[in-house]
Amino acid sequence: MLNLMFKRKKFSKVWDFPGFLTWTFFFFGFLYIPIVILVIYSFNSSKFAMIWTGFSFRWYEKLLTNDDMQQAALNSLYVAFVAAPCATAIATLTALVVVRGGSFKSKEFSNGLVTLPLMVPEIVTAVATLIFFAFIGINLGLINVMIAHTVFCIPFAYMPIKASLEAMDPTLEVAARDLYSDRNSTFRYITLPLLMPGILSGFMLAFVISIDDFIITLMVAGGGSTTLPVYIYSMIKMGVTPEVNAISTLMLAFSIILVTGYWVFSKKS
Amino acid sequence: MNIQGENKSRNNLIGLLPLWIVMGVFMIGPLIVMAFVSIMESNSYGGIHLKFDLSGYRQILFDTNLFDEMEFNPAYLIIIGRSFLLAVAATIISLIIGFPVAYYISRQKDSVKNILIFLVTIPFWTNLLIRTFAWIIILGKDGVIENSFGFIGIIGDDDSLNLMYTNTAILIGLVYSYIPLMVLPIYSSMEKLDVRLIEAASDLYSTRINLIFKIILPLTLPGIIGGSILVFVPCLGAFIAPDLLGGGKKLLLGSLIQFQFAYARNWPFGAAIAMVLLALIVTILYLNARINRRHEQNA
Amino acid sequence: MKISKTNAIEVQNVTKIYGSGESSVKALDNANLIIYDNEFFTLLGPSGCGKTTLLRLIAGFEDITNGRINLFNEELISLPPNKRPVNTVFQQYALFPHLNVFENVAFGLRRLDKNNDFVIKRSNEVLELVQMQDYALRRPNQLSGGQQQRIALARALAPEPKVLLLDEPLSALDLKLRQAMRVELKTLQKETGITFVFVTHDQEEALTMSDRIAVINQGSIQQIGNPEEIYEKPSNQFVANFIGEANLILGKCEKTGINGICKLQTGHKISINIPDKFNKDDNLTIFIRPERIKINKSKGSSLSQIQEFTYLGNAAHIELLSNGVSVNATLPIDKVKNFKKGDKIEIEFPKSFAQIINT
């Protein structure tokens, strides 16, 4: 037992670099401290957002009576519940053709077309859509927002669906055809069930992107169709109040719980 | 599978039609209309006169003075230049911060790796506006930093460090917004890196600095380029960070465009700047694609 | 077992070209063959030779460029795979990962709209046949490679196909398991009486299991015959080299006829049957298996010398140089005890085992 008293020099592998651990630690601090501060300040009892005076739920209580804010939150949900399924459906069809459709002329073009909203800066998409709706005279309030979100969400829904379709062994579909399935029952009993996790991921991504989207909504949404992020923006612009901290915390919590829940679920299965 | 008599191309067409219609009408359509608007005469109420006019583009470089003469005006060029520089700076800083992080994560065991990568992606799933807003609480007047400095007596109660509304504030906001997009692609190319190469290099007398610059960096270059593009592109057109942390004083391309539509109501000018931004992005993506192609040919 | 001579599959002038224009690849070139009912038939060839393409054409996974395939005298190629009464065992098994073993096996029966009682009865029957009845409720990913292999077999057998197509089904297994499965597959084929069409690149597999073999190379069928014919009387150099080891020695015809004479480049004159279509002084290629060559201690001047002597346990492999031509011989170990590298020796080509071979 004597040799235990001499601390053996820890063997460090050649691919370990000293200091990288600390560096990574600070990186995560940089990433999360602002969020933590925001959350802490949402429980501040002071009327001034930046000065800590004590713990309180008063700003959350105030949210309960804020009808505009609640309407904006509802609008966000309406938009996301229309845009995410539409985007997911289009993305699924496209992925099926691009991955399983063999080689055809417009394949590269279609694959590029899907990712176009990721290439074009969001602000450009936003003003172009604004001009477009004004130019052709479509002014349907929330429906305008839903259309813009559908377009913007397609690439986000597309990526996981395409990835999971590519990871799927095409022989499985061939095997189903061999075992007396026609095209439709092959899709129903083999392709769709195996693709479901990918489609769910795509839907989740599209949903979160839609809920969080701010710039496009800011430009496209008319007066009556404010969504939650746009509402928060106008609150920030009017001056920082602790109420913003509270609603922001709720939104952060919503996203993080959704994503974490999904992550844990997908790791288990 | 290519089954006799089954018409693939018809099914392909049906499957792609929704995408083509939706993207064609609501993505490419708006871009074409915007290009069209950028060469029309402006209407002071917002909107345009249907009359060909290049003043939207001219305005980027020239002003009309009292005598109706054109006068060079560098104000917008400065905004474009500053946007470019800030985007470059944000990309470089993100790379310097992100590279060791990506490396560290890629060398952990799988369970730790998964959790850390998940932690890197979470901010991407949360609202960018809110995350940027958090920096107002930190950097703002009487914010977290000023409060704590005041508490330990570095600055007086009524003094302010004036951290907000500076290029630095915008830069912090940009790096904070997009750094996950730098870490992830670098991480995925590090993942593919064979540790035996590092062992081989160190067996052949490489120092650790040598390892980084001669082995790891060249082999993860695709990830580094990918990450840099992913950070640079949104930074160049960023709106939230310059708007919230730069205030109205430090306009960048993104906030300048938004300003034209929300307040100045000069659509052709706004559209013209948007076209310039788009052209910059397209050029960068094109160059990147060319570099990638050459890379693939060499490989 | 007597093989009835009903034609199960007729492949007539089948050509398959992948792609079009300059990038097109001819995978099968005017292939013709007949597979009899109840037969264990093997398509053998190197990878990329077109054997899998032929199997996929029979199954209906590819469209045919030209030609015709009949199944029990019925034209097959206009039917999609789900309308063809043939089933396939895939190379990597292709078990449906989201279904349990039982549902995998029942899949084909359910798609055929069999009533539920029958589906259950038949599925259990085939699971029993492959001795996997205890695993019915497992998922495919909870099974070993060999078990997955059995389920793939059961799944393909459940709908009682008229022909079972097997696409290199043993290639993913390790050696021991592979050898055991050979016997089992052969037994299964005899028990069920179903025609098996088996694709492989492994000549040993083909020789041990098949009733008949078709050797394919570069899209065309080289030879069709039973294992012995293929091994002993290869129809050309490709077959000779692909199945086992072969010596191909050039020579000149000196006399045609049953007792013809050929002078080999090794310096030996051998007696061999030379058909009359050849003339004197024609160039010939003589084929002989290394294990058919005999060697003796040299008496006086000898043409041959041992270049390399490789010990193989029960046998030895000897590389000879004879008059500048290299010859391989494989001999039982007790026959070569006294030889070593560098020895001068006499070699002998027994008449019954040497033959003229087409290039």
C17 contacts chain B (CB < 8 A)? no
- B66 at A interface, C-beta within 8 A: no
Integer angstrom CA distances of residue C254 from A28, C249, C355: 89, 15, 15
Under 8 Å between Cβ of C354 and C284: no
Contact A179 C111 (CB under 8 A): yes
Claim to verify: residue A100 and residue A48 sit in the same structural domain: no
A190 interfaces chain C, CB cutoff of 8 Å: yes
> Does the beta-carbon distance from A175 to C94 stay under 8 Å?
yes
Which A residues, 151 through 170, put their C-beta within 8 Å of a C-beta on chain C? Answer: 169
**B6/C81 Cβ within 8 A:** no
If you search the block for the tokens 């140089």, which residue do you land on? C321
User: Which residue did the predictor score with more confidence, A212 or B201?
Assistant: A212
- What ipTM, to 2 d.p.? 0.89
- Residue C309: left if φ>0, alpha if ψ -120 to 50, beta else—which one? beta
Q: Which candidate, A269, A55, B6, A79, places its Cα nearest to that of C98?
A: A269
Number of B to C CB contacts under 8 A, please give it: 22
Q: What is the dihedral of CA C149, C151, C156, C159, to 10 degrees?
A: 160
- The percent of residues in chain A predicted with pLDDT above 90, rounded, is 58
A141 with A249, same domain: the answer is yes
Domain assignment present for A127: yes
CA C155 – CA C158 distance, rounded (Å): 5
**Shortest Cα distance from B9 to chain C (angstroms)?**
15
pLDDT, greater one: C303 or B81: B81
Mean pLDDT, range B186-200, rounded to an integer: 84
User: In which residue are the tokens 């098949």 written?
Assistant: C210
Chain B, nearest residue to C60 by Cα: B3
Query: What chain B residue is nearest to A146 in terms of C-alpha separation?
Result: B26
A178 interface with C at CB cutoff 8 Å = yes
Q: Do C60 and B4 touch (CB under 8 A)?
A: yes
- E strand spans, B8-145: 40-42, 48-52, 62-64, 70-72
**Which is higher by pLDDT, A79 or B160?**
A79
Q: What is the CATH number of the domain that holds A72?
A: 1.10.3720.10
Residues C140 and C98: beta-carbon distance below 8 Å: no
- Region A81-94: mean pLDDT is 97
Length, in residues, of chain B: 299
Q: Are A204 and A212 in contact (CB under 8 A)?
A: no
Residues 157-196 of C with CB under 8 A from B: none
B103 touches A: beta carbon within 8 Å: yes
Q: List the single best residue of B1, B2, B3, B4 to mutate versus C (max C Cβ within 10 A).
A: B4
* pLDDT tens sequence across A166-208: 999 999 999 999 999 999 999 999 999 999 999 999 999 899 9
Residues of B with CB under 8 A from a CB of C: 1-6
- pLDDT grade, residue B38 (50/70/90)? very high
* Minimal CA separation from A70 to chain B, in Å: 17
Residues of chain C with pLDDT under 50: 3
Predicted confidence (pLDDT) at residue B162 exceeds the cutoff of 80 = no
Contact at CB, C80 and B6, closer than 8 angstroms: yes
Structure confidence at residue B5 as a pLDDT band (50, 70, 90): low
Residue A228 and residue A100 share a domain: yes
Which residue in C90, C92, C111 is closest to A180 by CB distance?
Answer: C111
The sheet carrying C257-264 orders its strands as C269-274, C257-264, C247-255, C283-288, C355-356
| A3 domain residue, yes or no | no
In this complex, do B1 and C61 lie within 8 Å of one another by their Cβ atoms? yes
Asked whether the beta carbons of residue B140 and residue A208 sit closer than 8 angstroms, the reply is no
- Measured between CA atoms, how close is A111 to chain C, in angstroms? 22
Q: What is the pLDDT of residue C347?
A: 86
CB within 8 Å of chain B, chain A residues 85-114: 89-90, 93-94, 96-97, 101-102, 104, 106, 110, 113-114
* Mutation for A interface: B12, B188, B197, B265, most A CBs within 10 A: B12
- Helix and strand element counts for chain B (H, E): 15, 4
The answer as to whether A142 is a domain residue is yes
Residues of B in contact with A120 (CB under 8 A): 27, 31, 278, 281
Residue A42 is part of which domain span? Answer: 12-59
Sheet holding C294-297, edge to edge: C294-297, C344-348, C304-311, C315-322, C325-332
H or E element: which one contains A264?
A: helix A242-268
Q: Both tokens of residue C252? A: 């000149």
| Backbone dihedral angles phi then psi of residue C311, each to the nearest 5 degrees | -80, 125
Q: Do A179 and C155 touch (CB under 8 A)?
A: yes
Interface check for A216 against chain B (CB to CB < 8 A): the answer is no
Q: Chain C closest CA to B4's CA: distance in Å?
A: 4
Task: Please indicate, yes or no, whether residues A199 and A159 belong to a single structural domain of this protein.
Answer: yes
Domain count, chain A: 2
C contact test, residue of A103, A104, A174, A180 with most C CBs within 10 A: A180
Of B101, B237, B258, the CB nearest to A27: B101
What does the alpha-carbon distance between residue C81 and residue C78 come to, in Å, rounded to a whole number? 10
Q: For residue A130, which residues of chain B lie inside 8 Å, CB to CB? A: 261
pLDDT band at A1 (very low <50, low <70, confident <90, very high): very low
Distances (CA, A) of A218 to A142, A148, A221, B22, B27: 12, 11, 6, 21, 17
Mutate to test the interface with B, among C62, C68, C82, C90 (most CBs of B within 10 A): C62
Name the residue in chain B with its Cα closest to that of A36.
Answer: B134
Q: Do A189 and C59 touch (CB under 8 A)?
A: no
Q: Which residues pair with C86 in a beta bridge?
A: C163
> Is A6 part of a structural domain of the chain?
no
Q: Do A178 and C112 touch (CB under 8 A)?
A: no
Q: Which chains touch C (3 or more CB pairs under 8 A)?
A: A, B
How far A100 CA sits from the closest chain C CA (Å)?
A: 14
Burial C153-185 (b: 16+ CB within 10 A, else e): bbbbbbbebbbbbbbbbbeebeeeebeebbeeb
A51 vs A34, which has greater pLDDT?
Answer: A34
A145 touches chain B (CB under 8 A): no
* Inter-chain residue contact B126 with A90, CB threshold 8 Å: no
Write the residue in B18, B125, B140 that is nearest to A90 by C-beta. B18
Phi-psi map region of C257: left, alpha, beta (phi>0 left; psi -120 to 50 alpha): left
Q: Distance (Å) from the C-alpha of residue C96 to the closest C-alpha of chain A?
A: 6
Tell me if C87 and A185 make a contact (CB, 8 A cut-off).
Answer: no
Phi, psi of C43 (to 5 degrees): -100, 115
pLDDT above 90 for B96? yes
B100-122 residue pLDDT tens: 999 999 988 889 999 999 999 99
Are A29 and A72 members of one domain? no
pLDDT digit string (tens) for C148-201?
999 999 999 999 999 999 999 998 888 888 888 899 999 999 999 999 999 999
Residue A2 lies in a domain: no
- Taking the CA atoms of B258, B262, B265 and B271 in sequence, report the sign of the dihedral they define: positive
Chains near B with 3+ CB pairs less than 8 A apart are A, C
Phi-psi category of B104—alpha, beta or left, where left has phi over 0 and alpha has psi -120 to 50?
Answer: alpha
The per-residue b/e assignment along A173-201, b for 16 or more CB within 10 angstroms, e otherwise, is: bbbbbbbbbebebbbebbbeebbeebbbb
Contact across the interface for A119 and B133, Cβ inside 8 Å? no
Q: Which among B54, B45, B51, B7 has a CA at the least distance from the CA of B271?
A: B54
Q: What is the C-alpha to C-alpha distance for residues A210 and C12, in angstroms, rounded to an integer?
A: 59
Q: Which chain C residues have a beta carbon less than 8 Å from that of B1? A: 61-62
Contact A245 B179 (CB under 8 A): no
Give the closest-approach CA distance of A172 to chain C in angstroms: 5
Mean pLDDT of chain B: 87
Q: B299: pLDDT confidence band, cut at 50, 70 and 90?
A: low
Asked if the Cβ–Cβ distance from C94 to A189 is below 8 Å, we say no
B75-298 topology per CATH: MetI-like fold (1.10.3720)
Q: What percent of chain B clears pLDDT 70, i.e. is strictly above it?
A: 95
Residue B237: φ, ψ to 5°: -105, 15
Contacts for C90 with CB less than 8 Å, ≥ 6 apart: A171, A174, A175, C152, C167, C169
Nearest residue of chain A to residue B115 (CA atoms)? A263
DSSP assignment letter at C290:
G
CA distance C50 to C46: 9
**What percent of chain B has a predicted confidence (pLDDT) above 90?**
47
- How much is the pLDDT for A11? 53
Whether A183 and A150 share a structural domain: yes
CA distance C27 to chain B (A): 14
**CA atoms of A31 and B125, how far apart (whole Å):** 13
Sorting pLDDT into bands at 50, 70 and 90, what band is A64?
Answer: confident
Residue A7 belongs to some domain of the structure: no
Query: What pLDDT is attached to residue C122?
Result: 95
Indicate if A131 and A228 belong to the same structural domain. yes
Residues near C142 by beta carbon (within 8 Å), at least 6 away in sequence: none
> Is residue A237 assigned to a domain?
yes
Residues of B in contact with A17 (CB under 8 A): 100, 103-104, 208, 212
Sequence-distant (≥ 6) Cβ neighbours of residue B208 within 8 angstroms: A17
Give the N- to C-terminal CA distance of chain A in Å, as an integer. 46
d(CA B131, CA A143): 28
Give the pTM. 0.85
Q: What is the DSSP letter of C3?
A: P
Same domain for A67 and A47: no
